[in-house]
Amino acid sequence: MTEILRTIAEVRAWRQGLAADQTVGFVPTMGALHAGHISLMELAKGHATVTIASIFVNPLQFGPNEDLAKYPRPIEKDLALLKAAGVDAVFLPAVEELYPTGASTFVVEESVSGPLCGAMRPGHFRGVTTVVLKLFNIVQPHLAVFGQKDAQQCAVIERMVRDLAVPVEIIRGPIVREADGLALSSRNVYLGAEDRAAAPLIFASLQAAKAAFDGGERDATRLAAIGLAVLESDPRIKVQYWDVRDAQSLDAISTMDGHDALFAVAAYLGATRLIDNIVLPRP
């Protein structure tokens, strides 16, 4: 049975009811769940004796012109998926309880949050770190699972947990993709047929750069140019960034040598913004 918890008090009571030898694995989400989210639930189940998910479309991480109002919220379907996945509890907080009137305390990570999506979406990671730390304080998990799909989010949260000595182990889950390579995303439902047909080029561009790396190319600028050229070959796709970074610090790098490197892409198909990435272990 999946217990539905709607208030902080209900989560605290649920948490206190667990035996001392239980370990709690937590998977925060914004709902509109797909197989990528479910893979994180499975990972949490493998690492903890009790699993809890949250579904919260966090207004603090959306910019003023972003898709907060139209973000999909198929709550009954989500609950059925969590039940089928054998998740023990789900926290469905209300905006008013997580952000009480006059809330004026925020968590800001000032380095890893800077480039890539941080540069394109001002305030986004401030919203993420604030809500994640708050959810951690409510749920008090032993471990939490985040998807590599949002590689920068993983790096920002790992930095926050280190810097603030947050007693939660962070586990990254691999990216789950469609058969044609498109990374699963709640936002894929926005894509019309033609944009959906073009979308696999995002992963193909990452693969093209990886092929050049496998062929011996070590210059980060040249690798990014190879990936960018593939993605720009389709006029439907408007590239926001195609970048090569150190996978942990997200610092810019000029050569792949000595780094676990992140190839990261953000692109628009129509009004839909999609992101994807791959990590290449240091050569």
Which residues are catalytically annotated? 37
Among 110-118, 173-181, 234-242, 266-274, the segment contacting ligand AMP (CB under 6 A): 173-181
| 182 is a contact residue toward ligand AMP (CB under 6 A) | no
The answer to the question of residue 152 lying near ligand AMP (CB under 6 A) is no
Q: Does 275 bind ligand AMP (CB under 6 A)?
A: no
- Concatenating the DSSP letter of every residue in 147-168 gives EGGGHHHHHHHHHHHHHTT-S-
To the nearest whole angstrom, how small is the minimum distance from the Cβ of residue 101 to ligand AMP?
25
How far is residue 266's CA from residue 223's CA, in Å, rounded to a whole number? Answer: 16
Residue 275 beta carbon to ligand AMP: minimum distance, rounded to whole angstroms: 10
Which one of 43-51, 172-180, 197-205, 226-234 is the stretch in contact with ligand AMP (CB under 6 A)? 172-180
Q: Which two tokens stand for residue 148?
A: 């590599």
Q: H/E element holding 43? A: helix 35-47
Options 112-120, 177-185, 200-208, 224-232: segment touching ligand AMP (CB under 6 A) = 177-185
Q: Residue 95 is inside which H or E element, if any?
A: helix 95-98
Residues 6 or more apart whose CB falls under 8 angstroms from that of 178 comprise 184, 200
What DSSP state is assigned to residue 258? T
Among residues 62, 91, 125, 146, the one that binds ligand AMP under rule CB under 6 A: 146
H/E stretch holding 277 reads strand 272-280
175 binds ligand AMP (CB under 6 A): yes
Binding status of residue 184 toward ligand AMP by CB under 6 A: yes
Task: Tell me which residue has tokens 């953000």.
Answer: 266
Between 54 and 253, whose beta carbon lies closer to ligand AMP? 54
Q: Does 36 bind ligand AMP (CB under 6 A)?
A: yes
CA–CA separation, 184 and 178 (whole Å): 6
- Minimum CB distance to ligand AMP smaller for 150 or for 195: 150
Which member of 54, 185, 188, 272 binds ligand AMP (CB under 6 A)?
185
Closest CA to 18 of 55, 49, 54: 49
Residue from the set 121, 149, 159, 259 that interacts with ligand AMP by CB under 6 A: 149
Provide the minimum distance between the beta carbon of 25 and ligand AMP in the complex, in angstroms, as a whole number.
13
Contact window for ligand AMP (CB under 6 A) among 12-20, 29-37, 97-105, 115-123: 29-37
Burial string for 105-115 (b: 16+ CB within 10 Å, else e) reads eebebeebbeb
> Alpha helix locations (H) across 215-266?
220-231
Chain contacts with ligand AMP (rule: CB under 6 A): 29-30, 36-37, 39-40, 146-147, 149-150, 173, 175-176, 183-186
